[in-house]
Structure 1
Amino acid sequence: MGRALRIGVVGAGKISAQYSDAFSRLPQVAVTAVADLDTGRAGALAAAHPGARATSLDDLLAADDVDVVLNLTIPAVHAEVALAAIAAGKHVYGEKPLAATTEEARAVLRAAEAAGVRVGCAPDTVLGTGVATARAAVDAGAIGVPHAATAFMVTPGHERWHHDPEFYYRPGGGPLLDMGPYYLTALVHLLGPVRRVVGAASRPQATRTIGQGPRGGTSFDVEVDTHVTAILEHDGGALTTLLVSFDTWAARLPRIEVYGGEGSLSVPDPNYFDGEVALFTRDAPEWTALEPRAGYLGAGRGYGVADLALAIDAGQPHRASADVALHVLDVMESVLSAAGSHTAVEITTTCERPEPVAGPLELTAGA
């Protein structure tokens, strides 16, 4: 690895702290500039990285010491910021989803291809030892040929803890577009891309009330469906049952399980990088925890950016790719379309399963 990839952060909100923490221990990347509508937040984040400065978005995009723009803005402007960065000749790595719509995401990829720059996108949790170990087990045939999976994400709603939660309940939000990328990206890594979906959705609550913070007690309208269920048909034939909800107080459900002809695999929460992977097989009929056998050790949000830096240096594809992110966004939009039309919807995009992370590997040593 040569010079560290220089990062200009756009958006210094809540999620930026997790990226900042990871970057502080990754030699592959270095924060050089931060832009945010709140100059105080930008200054605080810049201060955590020696040599970094708080600046305006225009100056950040024009800066010679910014190689990649890390787009941590709200989903509604993901495409706008990404296109501006691409126009400035910068690589882009964004928070999920890649854009508010598949149409916008396609425009980002077309612009990047024309400009000769790369686009990466969260989630990068699939690069940690949790999902990566589960994938290694599936690829090794530990459960035989996988034919089905379940994926569940349920919560009462983010307004209980978030001080400004309205965007979760406006177009571009909802449980599927907010949390679905973690689960669907993991499923693509485990089972491959999706070719067809059916779905149903509902909106049990017309309003929500902020639970804490300076705006606690404030109510607002819900503009999107907040309980979504779907069946996904993967290219390989496996069927996944998906449930995501902002309307469930508690549930005893697995995060992800994969079922094959020879056994079953329990996969940890894909919102995190590690966690226990457990295997149950016909020949060993009890749940047994697997030791980490793949993925980046001690990973956190931002490891996908370090993986991008390594890939650029090596001239290889990066794993947290825009192709996967576009496909995941297409699947989510198609589920909602299927729910609205009460029909099956064919997926118009596809992607390759990214190369697995062999290992487990330690990136903080400069691997």
Structure 2
Amino acid sequence: MSARTGVGLVGCGAISRQYLATLAALEEIELVAVSDLAPARAQAVADAHPAVKVLTLPELVANEAVDVVLNLTVPAVHAEVALEAIAGGKDVYLEKPLAATTAQARDVLSAASARGVRIGCAPDTVLGTGIQTARRALDEGRVGRPLSASATMMVPGHEQWHPDPDFYYVPGGGPLLDMGPYYITSLVTLLGPVASVTGTSSRSRATRVIASGPRKGEAIPVTTDTHVTGVLTHNSGVLSTIVMSFDAVATASSNIEIHGDTGSLIVPDPNRFSGDVKLFRLGGEAWETLTPSAGYRDASRGFGLADMSRTPRTEDPRTSGPLAYHVLEVMESLLESAWTGTSVPVGSTCARPAAVPLS
């Protein structure tokens, strides 16, 4: 890549606002072009960034100033857009999940390998001080031998705030595919890859009603499960319990808890980059808050692109395609287990990503 990584953004929807704010603050990143099926949305981004060009997807992929395509499209077309970018010789960084299915994700990784380009994928919240400080505590043996973990995300559903929530309620969406990547990527970063899963799932209603925006009051169909729970068996033997739901009202904590034979650890909300990491030692009297000791300070959505640009081309970035593929297979296997009533082995594995020093 050049001294500054040229980024071509595809998909100017709601999530792009967070990425754009981050890209503007990163010295090594330069936004050079945008594309969207709705030209007005792309033009609005260009109007706010005068040096940015509005291009069609083929034009963006062919643009020599674009080093990496930032794919913020809906999950159903993640693979399609990624494959076009790869064919043009571009690195790709995707919003999660890597693709709608593992079959599509395999095509993306195979094409990238054949073309000699790299794949990065959100979530990059694992690069912040919250998850990384917790990881350092685990690596230093602060909880002894890890035995179990729990991760819970309970909300009433994104139709409460999103003006176009349809894709959350079709196959490839749902609480597991939408929010599961934050929790499972964090669990793999903290505890290593997953060997097998056992899951159950349900859906509470056949339609959802949009609560805001120009479509307020419109009912949309629900064709995927909206409450998923399961147990992940890590290669290390650690058992992680996970609950992802669009059928609840609230939960007291969206944190992850990890329990070992000499201590317990509270890991902050994996949908955020920072937060307090708390440790309770065997024989102790209270939780103690750990000083941030690892991770990127003040990171935000899109920081994975900066980490990718800083990683030698001979290495996978920390938020790599293989990691995202493994997380996707874990989620797909959880749903398969729920539908078949059997434990399902996870065929893929991945390297535990390298730790991030405090910076």
Shared fold per TM-score greater than 0.5: yes
Q: Take 1:338 and 1:137, find their aligned partners in 2: how far apart are those partners?
A: 33
Q: Does 1:336 align with 2:335?
A: yes
- Deviation of the 1:185 alpha carbon: 0.2
- Deviation of the 1:53 alpha carbon: 1.1
The answer for unaligned runs of 5 or more in structure 2 is: none
Which residue number corresponds to residue 295 of structure 2? 295
Which residue number corresponds to residue 223 of structure 2? 223
Which residue number corresponds to residue 241 of structure 2? 241
The one-letter code matched in structure 2 to 1:32 is V
Which residue number corresponds to residue 133 of structure 1? 133
CA shift digits 1:243-270 (9 cap, x unpaired): 0000001222452000001110001110
CA shift digits 1:72-115 (9 cap, x unpaired): 00000000000000000000000000000001001100000000
Q: Does 1:354 align with 2:346?
A: no
Which residue number corresponds to residue 114 of structure 1? 114
Q: Does 1:206 align with 2:185?
A: no
Q: Take 1:309 and 1:50, find their aligned partners in 2: how far apart are those partners?
A: 24
Q: Does 1:317 align with 2:326?
A: no
SS at the partner of 2:304?
helix
Which residue number corresponds to residue 171 of structure 2? 171
Structure 2 contact 153–251 (Cα < 8 Å) conserved: no
The one-letter code matched in structure 2 to 1:307 is D
Q: Does 1:98 align with 2:87?
A: no
Taking the TM superposition and a 5 Å limit, the aligned residue runs for 1:148-159 are 148-159=148-159
Structure 1 contact 254–266 (Cα < 8 Å) conserved: no
Which residue number corresponds to residue 65 of structure 2? 65
- Deviation of the 1:316 alpha carbon: 3.4
Q: Take 1:284 and 1:322, find their aligned partners in 2: how far apart are those partners?
A: 41
Structure 2 contact 69–91 (Cα < 8 Å) conserved: yes
Q: Take 2:155 and 2:256, find their aligned partners in 1: how far apart are those partners?
A: 16
- Deviation of the 1:283 alpha carbon: 4.0
SS at the partner of 2:117?
coil
Structure 1 contact 125–270 (Cα < 8 Å) conserved: yes
Which residue number corresponds to residue 365 of structure 1? none
Q: Take 1:77 and 1:326, find their aligned partners in 2: how far apart are those partners?
A: 16
Structure 1 contact 47–53 (Cα < 8 Å) conserved: no
Which residue number corresponds to residue 42 of structure 2? 42
Q: Take 2:223 and 2:198, find their aligned partners in 1: how far apart are those partners?
A: 22
CA shift digits 1:156-201 (9 cap, x unpaired): 0000111111110011100000000000000000100000100000
- Relative to structure 1, the CA distance from residue 79 to residue 254 in structure 2 (aligned partners, 3 Å threshold; closer, same or farther) is closer
Q: Take 1:56 and 1:138, find their aligned partners in 2: how far apart are those partners?
A: 46
Q: Does 1:19 align with 2:19?
A: yes
Taking the TM superposition and a 5 Å limit, the aligned residue runs for 1:251-266 are 251-266=251-266
Report the TM-score when normalising by structure 1.
Answer: 0.96
Q: Take 2:300 and 2:138, find their aligned partners in 1: how far apart are those partners?
A: 23
Q: Take 2:155 and 2:48, find their aligned partners in 1: how far apart are those partners?
A: 33
SS at the partner of 1:205?
coil
SS at the partner of 1:208?
strand
Structure 1 contact 263–282 (Cα < 8 Å) conserved: yes
Structure 1 contact 194–232 (Cα < 8 Å) conserved: yes
Structure 2 contact 118–316 (Cα < 8 Å) conserved: no
CA shift digits 1:177-230 (9 cap, x unpaired): 000000000000010000010000001111110011111110111100000000
Q: How many residues align?
A: 359
The answer for unaligned runs of 5 or more in structure 1 is: 362-367
The one-letter code matched in structure 2 to 1:249 is V
- Deviation of the 1:55 alpha carbon: 1.3
Report the TM-score when normalising by structure 2.
Answer: 0.98
- Deviation of the 1:317 alpha carbon: 2.8
